[in-house]
Structure 1
Amino acid sequence: MKIALLGYGRMGKIIERVAIERGHSISIKADSKTTSLNFSDTDVAIDFSLPSTAVSNIKASIDAKVPVISGTTGWLESYEDIVSYCNEKKGAFLYASNFSLGVNIFFEVNRVLAKLIGNYSDYKLNIEEIHHTKKLDAPSGTAISLAEDIIQNSKFTNWAMDKTNADTVKIEAKRIVDVPGTHIVNYDSEVDSIEIKHTAHNREGFALGAVIAAEWIANKKGVFNMKDVLNIG
């Protein structure tokens, strides 16, 4: 496949290497200085750009009838607009807060745990996420996905970085140099604690998952997520 990289920072460069290793080529390398996109020689687009440019990148890909996957976080207030836009244009779009296979398994474990324990009032819940200091958004998209899955499967009704009541999932965001990504979900009571944790050792898993998603979405129409790609749940 010929892949457009919409965002050519650290993740974009790792995705480029992984894509080439898997037999693909790169048709576009767009960074913050890129002013226009020409998709005439592109099969699929991978967006790892900035929150300020993700929406325009995704819409440009859909307009060009190029399937697009996005791992950019911090723009999700426009997600439903993108879903409607993709369906209206009969395009193909896939968003994931995290493309790692391990994280997507972690998501499924989190949902099961929320169903099992989330309604027991003795347990207090918090999510902790740790990322590198160059990450622009907080909390991470992965932490938000964990919180939203808990809300859908338990008594909790909201999430916040400053916890306001017992029905709110508290998220703590920490930034430490050179940490690819760590996420911890902790249920704590007076008698015991239950904790699940995912630690990324590097960015290779994110890049590989993004390329696998790009391979999967080729020639498809609709709005998808990584559960579709990995047939999880």
Structure 2
Amino acid sequence: MKIALLGYGKMGKTIEEIALNRDHEIVLKIEEDIDTYEIDKMEIDVAIDFSVPKAAFKNITTCFKNNIPVVCGTTGWLDDYEKAVEICKKEDSAFIYASNFSVGVNLFFELNKKLAKMMNGMDDYAVEIEEIHHTQKQDAPSGTAISLAQQIVTENVKKNSWQLDHAAADEIPIKAKRIEDVPGTHTVSYKSKIDSIEIMHTANSRQGFALGAVIAAEWLKDKKGIFTMQDVLSSQF
């Protein structure tokens, strides 16, 4: 499979290593913005975008307009997500966006939904999310933390949204910390005066995120439509 890497930072380099080990070919590597590249003249099976928020929308939609499916793990650009979906459908292309491609995190998502459903109505418990990432991460809170919060809102009738740091009674507070060389740690806690319940996912390296992105790209090749990581995993397990 011929892969374009849109974003060639630490994640891009890790994806490259895994893709090459799985016998794929990297035909294009860019740092951030796809504008200066004539991708319409290149043979590309799938693009994987781990660029930066300001470049993601243009990268993704440029690929759609050139009949290139996109796997995107860039966070912080989702105000334009629906517009990207519209362009994908118009161009009859294919798209997978995930706030986190790690298989372990996607299992953690399922656990989070189950726990949120169980805790709905337990008014003595206050829910909170904490995420810790490396100092180079440009957005806060993380896309994964936002996904966790949105899942809880779906199950908890008394929570309507999330808020960074200080939250109202109907909001879920998310604390974001930045520490050197931390790939990603997410904790969901329910605390009462009597006790606390916590679930946590800790990434020990970027390998899990990168492997999941490559698996998603392999799955997306030759498909049309809008998909999620759950679609990918349901075919894997």
Query: Is the TM-score greater than 0.5?
Result: yes
Structural mapping, 1:26-175, within 5 Å: 26-32=26-32, 35-39=36-40, 40-155=42-157, 156-175=159-178
Q: Give 1:91 deviation, angstroms.
A: 1.0
Q: Give 1:32 deviation, angstroms.
A: 3.4
* 1:186 matched residue in structure 2: 189
1:209 to 207, 212, 222: 212
Q: Give 1:163 deviation, angstroms.
A: 3.1
Distance 1:169 1:113 in 2: 15
Distance 1:8 1:37 in 2: 18
Alpha-carbon deviations, 1:131-162, whole Å to 9, x = none? Answer: 00010000000000000111111121110014
- Aligned-partner SS, 1:172: strand
Shift of the 212–123 alpha-carbon distance from structure 1 to 2, 3 Å rule, reads same
| Paired residue type of 1:132 | H
* 1:223 matched residue in structure 2: 226
| Unmatched 5+ stretches in structure 2 | none
* 1:20 matched residue in structure 2: 20
Deviates more, 1:211-220 or 1:27-36: 27-36
Q: TM-score, normalised by structure 1?
A: 0.97
Shift of the 170–164 alpha-carbon distance from structure 1 to 2, 3 Å rule, reads closer
| Unmatched 5+ stretches in structure 1 | none
Shift of the 17–41 alpha-carbon distance from structure 1 to 2, 3 Å rule, reads same
- Aligned-partner SS, 1:194: strand
Q: Give 1:119 deviation, angstroms.
A: 2.5
Alpha-carbon deviations, 1:44-99, whole Å to 9, x = none? Answer: 00000010000000001101111101000000111111111111221100000010
Percent identical: 56
Distance 2:30 2:195 in 1: 50
Q: Give 1:165 deviation, angstroms.
A: 2.0
Q: Give 1:33 deviation, angstroms.
A: 6.9
Q: Give 1:192 deviation, angstroms.
A: 1.4
Deviates more, 1:214-223 or 1:38-47: 38-47
Distance 2:195 2:33 in 1: 52
| Paired residue type of 2:20 | I
| Paired residue type of 2:121 | N
Q: TM-score, normalised by structure 2?
A: 0.95
- Aligned-partner SS, 1:46: strand
- Aligned-partner SS, 1:45: strand
Aligned length: 233
Distance 1:37 1:148 in 2: 38
* 1:197 matched residue in structure 2: 200
